[in-house]
Chains A and B, each alone.
Chain A
Amino acid sequence: MSWLDVAVALLNTLVFPGFLFLFNAGFFFSWVDRKLLARFQERVGPPVFQPWADFFKLLSKEIIIARTAFKATFILAPLISLIAVMLVPLMLPIVTPTPQFTFIGDLIVIVYLLILPALAAMIGGSASGNPYGSIGSSREMMLLTSYELPFIIAVFTVALKAGSLRIVDLVQYQSSNGFLFLTGSGFIAFLVMLLSLQAKLSVPPFDIPDAKTEIIAGPYTEYSGALLALFKLSHAMLLFVLPWFLCTLFFGGVLVDFSSTIRLFVTSAASVLKLLILLIAMSLIRCINPRARIDQALRFFWLHLTIIASVGFGLAVVGW
């Protein structure tokens, strides 16, 4: 590997589409989400710089670690969450069709990395030495095992349709065969993933581990200062990465065509629009729903959504 390769890799990791880009894009999407919720509730909502202000304020606060907490895991959890979310964009194409890393099976690696934030919340919660933390952690665990199943079935549906476990191949398949969203199995897989993402992001109706009125702040109860800031940052980044992932899988990816100025304009606008529409769809589901109870959520994912996802998979097998 030459120096140039290393430099490009570093640039990708730290600037675009790495840390700096994700930092700002994630907070922007977080603002859109909050503003939409406020508008829906007939309020004005926060100004655009709000998520940045929240982050820097948290950085300036004191970090208190309870005596009953298990220090190493407590501190490690937000770091794991952040790093996992930062690794995903290195495998997703943006602007150009080739991401930093592409190999067979990178789809599975992404699914694995997307599990890590929830896992980190879990271990952080149990390491915090607080009964609310441990209840939040156990709820996260129960929820995690339930929504991952339909999610993974949906991912495999897409892979089966496009005939490959490589993201780049999926994008290429869509550029020649049209969006996967427009196929029968693709549509079902999209719906299944959209609902699972609500649980992944811990937003209503599935914000059960985070239920403020029931268990204070769930796994995040004992977190303060910079550690909480890292968790919030990884959430915001996830809010950008997940629509991006959905877009790549079902809507042809976030790509820009450099062949002419007009195409450049149109495809850039289309890409941004695709991402925003997906974000708005996720936000709207959040606005109009109360919180489900854990047993109701489990039933929903294990039973209803798994059946629907399997139907989608079946459709992909027969070629629809």
Chain B
Amino acid sequence: MPEVVLPIGPYHPALTEPEFFQVYVSGEEIVDAKVRIGYNHRGIEWLAQRKTIHQVPFLVERICGICSNAHPMCFCQSVEEAGDIVVPDRARHIRTLIAELERIHSHLLWAGIASHLIGYDTLFMYFWRHREPICELLDLITGNRQHYAINCIGGVRRDIDLEKYGSKILGVLKSLTPAVLRLGDAVVKDRVVKARMEGVGILSTDNARKYCVVGPTARGSGIGIDVRKNEPYAAYRDVGVDVKVFTECDVMARTLVRVHETLESAEIVRRTMDAMPNGPIKAELNGFPTGEGVGKVEAPRGEDIHYVRLNGTDKPERLKIRAPTYMNLGSIVPQLVGYTIADAPLIIGAVDPCMCCTDRIALVDVRKGRKLVLSLGELAQKTRKNRNPIR
């Protein structure tokens, strides 16, 4: 049968963002796929070199709306490492709290979108309805439903008054947990949903390792990596994280990982609130730091890495961002081949692509004769030197 190229994207109702999957189909079966990105490229790394290091968190926050806390936190951590700045305890705990609330909202969002992708609009509505209280909660404690702007270099910008808001947070989490369990059951036990998700989009553990996937995609394929556990940052060493790994390697496994993570995040929020120490929320900064720093954060989609090079001026010399979806995107190709067009949106969705995080390019400044592009080896070396993991 002749091959037909079916373009999924760049602008397609299944995808909220532009990304181009060139899917080669033979009838309804997918035989090959190519991913083309660049539609969401905004030149963020270039812009970052033209803003001060205190303005950059606001810029990188707008890399992605859903992981809008992960990027500024990662950036701040990289600058703090470069300048040997110690973040006070209360600030670390507040960062953890907001990060976990963001993870809950991101996973609920994903669950809704995944349901919508298989045509289960009722479940989509239910998931997003339960997501609303989290957004309202974040609006209450940080001032905005989405871009929280809570991180700054040296700590956090705003304090959270637990006496005032603590009971509200606990109340929202209390009504969330049974709802997530109920909806999670609806997903896992429904016959038609199981037929759409089980055994679909298999990414074997070998392939997962080869493509270096991160986040729930990896944890659904038997690879138990999680930055919060492997290299604890913020307050994770104090409150602990329980990471669950599934080995079925299909879309259902990735779904279960996310359901479990949502419940675990609710627990972490409770523990963080209990352990919240008093104290300052921001470290004092003397001038502008010099040096290189790498920040690593477990964003809802996986490991996010920011590398920054500072030279004592107010602007960063170079900022390099490696978002999690960049690693997960390539793995979509082996997941798609052999399945049908109807499975394609769900398979792509199960990786939870965040194209806005992904569209980066390397910037090489040859005028100064300096290498600004780090090779994988150099980057690995930098992260291994991270002796003080609590940032």
Task: Answer whether A and B touch in the complex at a CB cut-off of 8 Å.
Answer: yes
Q: Mark B336-361, 1 if CB is under 8 A from A, else 0.
A: 00001111110000000000000000
Tell whether A288 pairs with B122 under 8 Å between CB atoms, given A131-B6, A213-B14: yes
Chain A, Cβ-Cβ closest to B129: A42
Known pairs A289-B192, A290-B123; list 17 more (Cβ under 8 Å).
A41-B121, A42-B125, A135-B341, A211-B342, A213-B116, A213-B117, A214-B342, A215-B341, A216-B13, A287-B122, A288-B122, A290-B115, A290-B193, A292-B196, A293-B196, A293-B342, A294-B340
Chain B interface helix/strand/loop/mixed: helix
A212 within 8 A of B: yes
Q: Mark A205-235, 1 if CB is under 8 A from B, else 0.
A: 1011001111110000000000000000000
B165 within 8 A of A: no
Chain B, Cβ-Cβ closest to A216: B13
Q: How far is the CA of A288 from the CA of B4 in the complex (A)?
A: 34
Q: How far is the CA of A208 from the CA of B196 in the complex (A)?
A: 13
Q: In the assembled complex, which residues on chain B have CB atoms less than 8 Å from the CB atom of A293?
A: 195-196, 340, 342-343
Are A290 and B119 touching (Cβ within 8 A)? yes
Chain A, Cβ-Cβ closest to B14: A213
Q: Mark B1-25, 1 if CB is under 8 A from A, else 0.
A: 0001010000011100000000000
Q: How far is the CA of A215 from the CA of B6 in the complex (A)?
A: 10
Top 3 closest pairs, chain A to chain B, by CB: A291-B119, A290-B120, A41-B125
Q: How far is the CA of A44 from the CA of B196 in the complex (A)?
A: 29
Q: In the assembled complex, which residues on chain B have CB atoms less than 8 Å from the CB atom of A212?
A: 13
User: Would you list which residues of chain A between 278 and 320 have a CB under 8 Å from chain B?
Assistant: 287-296
B28 within 8 A of A: yes
B117, B119, B129 interface centre (most CB from chain A within 10 Å): B119
19 contacts between A and B (CB under 8 A): A37-B121, A204-B119, A204-B121, A205-B192, A208-B342, A211-B119, A213-B14, A213-B117, A213-B345, A215-B341, A216-B12, A216-B13, A288-B122, A290-B190, A292-B192, A292-B195, A293-B196, A293-B343, A294-B28
B118 within 8 A of A: yes
Q: In the assembled complex, which residues on chain A have CB atoms less than 8 Å from the CB atom of B115?
A: 290
Are A291 and B118 touching (Cβ within 8 A)? yes
User: Would you list which residues of chain B between 95 and 138 have a CB under 8 Å from chain A?
Assistant: 115-123, 125-126, 129
Q: How far is the CA of A46 from the CA of B251 in the complex (A)?
A: 35
Q: In the assembled complex, which residues on chain B have CB atoms less than 8 Å from the CB atom of A215?
A: 341
A112 within 8 A of B: no
A67 within 8 A of B: no
Are A41 and B126 touching (Cβ within 8 A)? yes
A258 within 8 A of B: no
Q: How far is the CA of A150 from the CA of B13 in the complex (A)?
A: 33
Chain A residues with a Cβ under 8 A of chain B: 37, 40-43, 131, 135, 204-205, 207-208, 211-216, 287-296
Q: With both chains docked as a complex, state the minimum distance between the C-beta of A291 and any C-beta of chain B, in angstroms.
A: 3
Q: With both chains docked as a complex, state the minimum distance between the C-beta of A105 and any C-beta of chain B, in angstroms.
A: 37
Q: How far is the CA of A285 from the CA of B115 in the complex (A)?
A: 17
Q: In the assembled complex, which residues on chain A have CB atoms less than 8 Å from the CB atom of B193?
A: 290
Q: With both chains docked as a complex, state the minimum distance between the C-beta of A208 and any C-beta of chain B, in angstroms.
A: 8
Q: In the assembled complex, which residues on chain B have CB atoms less than 8 Å from the CB atom of A207?
A: 119
Q: In the assembled complex, which residues on chain A have CB atoms less than 8 Å from the CB atom of B120?
A: 204, 289-291
Q: How far is the CA of A131 from the CA of B116 in the complex (A)?
A: 23
Q: In the assembled complex, which residues on chain A have CB atoms less than 8 Å from the CB atom of B195?
A: 292-293, 296
Chain B, Cβ-Cβ closest to A142: B28
Point out the residue from B28, B118, B341, B344 that lies within 8 Å of A290, measured CB to CB: B118
Are B118 and A131 touching (Cβ within 8 A)? no
Are A290 and B192 touching (Cβ within 8 A)? yes
Are A294 and B342 touching (Cβ within 8 A)? yes
B120, B123, B192, B345 interface centre (most CB from chain A within 10 Å): B192
Q: With both chains docked as a complex, state the minimum distance between the C-beta of A64 and any C-beta of chain B, in angstroms.
A: 18
Q: In the assembled complex, which residues on chain A have CB atoms less than 8 Å from the CB atom of B6?
A: 131, 135
Q: In the assembled complex, which residues on chain A have CB atoms less than 8 Å from the CB atom of B129?
A: 42
Are A42 and B192 touching (Cβ within 8 A)? no
Q: How far is the CA of A205 from the CA of B14 in the complex (A)?
A: 18
Are A214 and B196 touching (Cβ within 8 A)? no
Chain B, Cβ-Cβ closest to A290: B120
Q: In the assembled complex, which residues on chain B have CB atoms less than 8 Å from the CB atom of A292?
A: 192, 195-196
Q: In the assembled complex, which residues on chain A have CB atoms less than 8 Å from the CB atom of B119?
A: 204-205, 207, 211, 213, 290-291
Q: How far is the CA of A107 from the CA of B125 in the complex (A)?
A: 41
Q: Mark B194-237, 1 if CB is under 8 A from A, else 0.
A: 01100000000000000000000000000000000000000000
Q: With both chains docked as a complex, state the minimum distance between the C-beta of B164 and any C-beta of chain A, in angstroms.
A: 30
Q: In the assembled complex, which residues on chain A have CB atoms less than 8 Å from the CB atom of B28?
A: 294-295
Tell whether A290 pairs with B12 under 8 Å between CB atoms, given A41-B121, A131-B4: no
Chain B, Cβ-Cβ closest to A217: B13
Q: How far is the CA of A204 from the CA of B124 in the complex (A)?
A: 14
Q: With both chains docked as a complex, state the minimum distance between the C-beta of A202 and any C-beta of chain B, in angstroms.
A: 11
Are A214 and B344 touching (Cβ within 8 A)? yes
B122, B123, B196 interface centre (most CB from chain A within 10 Å): B122
Q: In the assembled complex, which residues on chain B have CB atoms less than 8 Å from the CB atom of A43?
A: 125
Q: How far is the CA of A263 from the CA of B295 in the complex (A)?
A: 80
Q: With both chains docked as a complex, state the minimum distance between the C-beta of B21 and any C-beta of chain A, in angstroms.
A: 12
Q: How far is the CA of A212 from the CA of B192 in the complex (A)?
A: 18
Q: In the assembled complex, which residues on chain B have CB atoms less than 8 Å from the CB atom of A204?
A: 119-121
Q: In the assembled complex, which residues on chain A have CB atoms less than 8 Å from the CB atom of B190?
A: 290
Q: With both chains docked as a complex, state the minimum distance between the C-beta of B253 and any C-beta of chain A, in angstroms.
A: 18
Q: In the assembled complex, which residues on chain A have CB atoms less than 8 Å from the CB atom of B192?
A: 205, 289-290, 292, 296
